[in-house]
Amino acid sequence: MTSSIVILTGAGVSAESGISTFRDPDGIWSKVDYREVATPQGFAANPARVHAFYNWRRQNVRSVEPNAAHVALARMEREFRGEFLLVTQNVDSLHERAGSQKLIHMHGQHDRALCAGCGSRNEWHDEMSMRSRCPACQRVGHMRPDVVWFGETPYEMDRIQAALGQCDLFISIGTSGNVYPAAGFVRIARAEGARTVELNLVPSEGAVHFDEADHGPATRVVPAFVEKLLA
Ligand code: BJW
């Protein structure tokens, strides 16, 4: 019997809500060089360019809605009688808008800002620029999106590692398995004895590490898996 579940989601879970993935043929990294917009070096070289990119992304997610996959995962959290943790690499807020609460945004959030001056993290829904003022320290010129760029440490790794170490079911949904440390979670969970399941449009980079897979759009395969698990 399953007593503890860890779920990892990636851009594929939000794709059918209208948010672009990163590495699919028409994905974000096919249009924008990640070194320019998703590294601390890119930000240092051209902060205006990076702010413009995230202002555009923040604007884009305003009109999107959670889809059947987000809703099914929120239902799983509500109805599953055991330990549950949803770890998302996504910076959108569709999981919480669908009702998920036991949730970690390991790569940060679009609608939050980080002050590089004082380290405070705050909600942020407006445009951001180098003229933005930190609501905590009141200084200007230090605000950046609260997202985790390449070379930076993802959030809440200790909590994630602990949950991976004691789960007996690990489910990876809509992620290509290209980006570490998230791409390594399946191996950690499996080494600790968890059953591992992949729900993705196509087999991911780490497909060999999963005991089971269902390949198809998240809005079909995720509700079907949740229905079976809760039955
Ligand atoms: C569907 C679908 C549908 C489509 N239904 N599915 C060399 C070797 C190993 C590692 C490294 C290395 N050199 C550097 C590293 C480390 C580096 C890394 O992994 N680089 C690799 C590229 C090699 N990682 C880091 O730097 C990370 N930090 C780190 O490692 O710190 C050290 C540390 C580790 C452990 C503990 C403590 C410290 C930080 C990574 C930060 C990633 N940031 C981004 C940008 C966020 C902000 C923003 O949004 O702009 O996060 S990059 C981008 O990729 C974003 C995503 O969260 C992340 C993952 O992408 P995801 O979600 O998998 O999307 P896609 O597009 O790749 O895949 C979508 C999938 O969905 C596909 O499979 C589709 O088929 C599928 N799909 N439609 C179901 N309808």
* Average pLDDT across the chain, whole number: 97
Catalytic residue among 107, 110, 142, 209: 107
Instruction: Name the amino acid, one letter, at 119.
Output: G
Identify the band that residue 115 occupies on the pLDDT scale cut at 50, 70 and 90: very high
Candidate from 16, 21, 92, 198 with most ligand 1 atoms within 8 A of CB, to mutate: 21
CB 196 within 8 A of CB 211: yes
Query: Is residue 144 scored above 90 in pLDDT?
Result: yes
Digit-coded pLDDT (tens) for 18-33: 999 999 999 999 999 9
Task: Using the CB atoms, write b or e for 170-179: b if 16+ within 10 Å.
Answer: bbbbbbbbeb
- What does the pLDDT read at residue 62? 85
CA of 63 to the centre of ligand 1 (A): 24
Residue nearest to atom 78 of ligand 1 (CA): 12
pLDDT for 84 equals 98
Instruction: Identify which of 14, 90, 179, 199 to mutate to test ligand 1's pocket (most ligand atoms within 8 A of the CB).
Output: 179
On the question of pLDDT at 67 being above 90, the answer is yes
Mean pLDDT along residues 112-116: 97
List ligand 1's pocket residues with C-beta within 6 A: 10-12, 15-16, 21-24, 27, 38, 89, 91, 107, 147-154, 157, 174-176, 178-181, 200-202, 204, 217-218
pLDDT on residue 116: 96
pLDDT of residue 131 exceeding 90:
yes
Q: What is the pLDDT of residue 87?
A: 99
Chain position carrying tokens 């898996």: 225
CA-based nearest residue to 202, from 191, 216, 189: 216
Q: Which helix or strand (DSSP H or E) is residue 185 part of? A: helix 185-191
pLDDT band for position 172 (50/70/90)? Answer: very high
pLDDT of 125 > 90? The answer is yes
When pLDDT is cut at 50, 70 and 90, the band that residue 1 belongs to is confident
**Does residue 107 have an active-site annotation?**
yes
Give pTM, 2 decimals: 0.97
Question: Can you tell me the distance from the alpha carbon of 4 to that of 163, in angstroms, rounded to the nearest whole number?
Answer: 8
Report the separation in Å between the CA atom of 136 and the middle of ligand 1, taken as the mean of its atom positions. Answer: 30
CA of 179 to the centre of ligand 1 (A): 3
pLDDT, average across residues 152-156: 98
Q: What is the whole-number distance in angstroms between the Cα of residue 176 and the centre of ligand 1?
A: 8
Closest atom of ligand 1 to 29 CA is 66
